[in-house]
Amino acid sequence: MKYVLTLIGNKTAPLASTHVEAARSALPSPGGTVWLAEAHACDIPFDGDPVAAEAAARAALGGAKIDLAALSAEGRRKRLLIADMDSTIIEQECIDELAAELGIKPQIAEITERAMNGEIGFEPALRERVGLLKGLPLEALEKVYRDRITFMPGARELVATMRADGHACALVSGGFTFFTERVAHAVGFNTNQANRLIFVDGKLTGGVAEPILGRQAKLDALLRLRDELGLKPHETLAVGDGANDLAMIGEAGLGVAYRAKRVVAEAAGARIDHGDLTALLYLQGYRREEISG
C-alpha cells in the first residue's frame, strides 16, 4: 500500500466505526484499519490517487467534523517541525491583544484579518499596526502574556513528542520576540525567531526593527535548519494558519494548515480544521501511547 488515509476525531466528535466504514468505502483497494488511538484516530492504507481518494472520503463523511488526510505511507515521521505562533501554537493574535490594552482591538484586528487572508501585504500591515501601539508600556506586554495568552491544546504534546524522538522544533513568527521567547520556552521549542519591537524609556516607539520577518523569513528558516540538520525535504513538517505561512507550508515535506484561513487550507498538503495539535502526530503515524506530555 503506497498511501494511508488518516482519520482524526476530537472531543466534540469522536471517531466512530461509521465514519471509518464510510471513508473505507470511498477508497480504492483499502487495506485493514489500524487504530492509532481508540475512538480518536486511525489509518487506512490504500492504493490509488491520494488527491482523489481524499476528496472521495470527505464526500463520504458528509458534514462530519472529522479531520482526514491522504498521505504517502513512506517517510511519515518528520525530523524537523517549523511552527507559526499566533493562532497556531497559541490561541490568540498577540498584536490584537496588545491593541485591546489601548482600546483599539477592532481596528487592529481588522488589519490582521486582511493580512492573514493575503488581502494586503504582511510587512506594511505590520508597520501600520505597530504604529498604532505607540506609547504602550512594557508592563502592558507583560500583562498581556500573563493574562491573555493561552497555548493551543496539544501544543506541548506535539513538541514534547517530537523532541523525545530526537527531532528539532522551531517557532517562527511574524509577531514579536517578546512573545516567541516566552512561548518557545514554555512549550519546549529548540529555537524561535520573530520581529523586534523598539522601546524607548520602557514604552513602544511605534516602530519595529528592520527587516520585517514575514513569509520569506519563515521559508528561509525552514531551508536553513533543513540544511544545518542535513535533512531531506520530505523529512520536514511546517504548520500555520495565515497567508505568510504559505511558502514554508509549500516547501515542507508535510505542510499543514491548522484551523487556517481559506487561502491556506486550499493550498496545504494537509489540513486540520477540528482537532487539536496532537493531530499532527497522528498524521505522522504516532500512536496514543507514544505521545509525551
pLDDT at 1 over 90: no
Residues 245, 222 contacting (CB under 8 angstroms): no
β-pairing verdict for 270-272 and 254-258: parallel
Q: What is the pLDDT of residue 15?
A: 98
Measured distance CA(66)–CA(15) in Å, rounded = 7
Q: Say what the pLDDT of residue 206 is.
A: 97
CB atoms within 10 A of CB 39: 11
Q: Domain ranges in the chain? A: 1-74, 77-293
> According to the model, what pLDDT value does residue 210 have?
94
Quick one: residue 273, left, alpha or beta (phi over 0 = left, psi -120 to 50 = alpha)? alpha
- 1-74 is classed CATH 3.30.70: yes
Mean pLDDT along residues 247-256 = 98
Assess whether 47 carries a catalytic annotation: no
Q: Categorize the per-residue pLDDT at 165 as very low, low, confident or very high, splitting at 50, 70 and 90.
A: very high
Start-to-end CA span in the chain (Å): 32
What is the rounded distance in angstroms from the CA atom of residue 139 to the CA atom of residue 239?
31
Residue 88: exposure state from Cβ atoms within 10 A (0-12, 13-18, ≥19): buried
Mean pLDDT of all residues in 185-189: 98
Of the candidates 43, 47, 67, 84, the residue annotated as catalytic is 84
67 is catalytic: no
Residue from 47, 49, 67, 86 carrying the catalytic annotation: 86
CATH homologous superfamily of 77-293:
HAD superfamily/HAD-like (3.40.50.1000)
Q: If you search the block for the grid coordinates 491593541, which residue do you land on?
A: 99
| Overall average pLDDT of the 117-142 stretch | 95
Q: Rounded to an integer, what distance in angstroms lies between the CA atom of residue 254 and that of residue 237? A: 5
Distance CA 139, CA 210 (A): 24
State which H helix or E strand residue 43 sits in.
strand 41-46
Q: What is the mean pLDDT of the chain?
A: 97
pLDDT range class, residue 293, cuts 50, 70, 90: confident
* pLDDT above 90 coverage of the chain, percent: 98
* DSSP letter for each residue of 181-227: HHHHHHHT-SEEEEE-EEEETTEEEEEEPSSP--HHHHHHHHHHHHH
